Structure 1
């Protein structure tokens, strides 16, 4: 299992930041590895909402199905899964000022099957991916 944590500033009030990140389709904007992210259902963004995310990692494209599990006023939790990985994204939002928010982004990658054997060798690449997200979020949110 690989865990990463990054903290970044978002130039939006907490309420707006949570609303923005709750729609996982916005991952195209803040996650440089995301090639596409499409909502699979309709209606309000609420727990149970689902997305298909296509990302590029280590030169390969993979598809992960994501589900919003927790939607609170200051926290979001998404679970992503395919045949080789289970990903949990836990986003926590703390007000810094009236118009800025500290986002603490925790991602846990649990590899399945033979992919578990590769986990120690993927740690550096997963950390680089987290660094790329931490660099992109302030740019796309205006900081």
Structure 2
């Protein structure tokens, strides 16, 4: 499994950040790898809600169906799946220590299946770069709202 963790300070209040990030369709704005992300079905961003996500990783387009599997006042967990990989995004949002804004703790993981597992050691660096880009973009997006 490949896993990355980033702590991202933002100026927006924690509650607003959780509300925004709970709608995974917003991933097109803050996740540099996401090209398309649309809700499957209707309803709110509650556990069981699903999104069709098209991402580009290492020049290849891949589609996953993400589901919001946990939602708490300060924590969101999304799991995306296709035939090759399971992705898990855990987002925890807490008030900033100085009281101004929030800190987003973003933990993302990829678990490949079958022969694709053999490629994990070679993909780690690219996944780290993607996480670095998300770390730069997320404050830009959250702080403008």
Fold shared per TM-score above 0.5: yes
Alignment match, 1:112:
113
Cα shift at 1:10: 2.3
Cα shift at 1:99: 5.0
Cα shift at 1:18: 0.4
Alignment match, 2:16:
16
Alignment match, 1:65:
65
Cα shift at 1:98: 5.1
Secondary structure in structure 1 of the residue aligned to 2:114: coil
User: What pairs with 1:117-132 in structure 2 (closer than 5 Å)?
Assistant: 117-132=118-133
Cα shift at 1:14: 1.2
Residues paired across the two proteins, number:
143
Cα shift at 1:44: 1.3
Range with greater deviation from structure 2 (67-76 or 4-13) = 4-13
Alignment match, 1:139:
140
User: Alignment RMSD, CA only?
Assistant: 1.1
Gap runs ≥5 in structure 1: none
Spell out structure 1 runs of 4+ moving beyond 2 A.
Answer: none
Alignment match, 2:26:
26
TM-score calculated relative to the size of structure 2: 0.95
Gap runs ≥5 in structure 2: none
Alignment match, 2:79:
79
Alignment match, 1:47:
47
Cα shift at 1:142: 1.8
Secondary structure in structure 1 of the residue aligned to 2:43: coil
Distance 2:11 2:41 in 1: 29
Secondary structure in structure 1 of the residue aligned to 2:21: helix
1:3-29: CA deviation from partner (whole Å, max 9, x where unpaired): 100110122211110000000000000
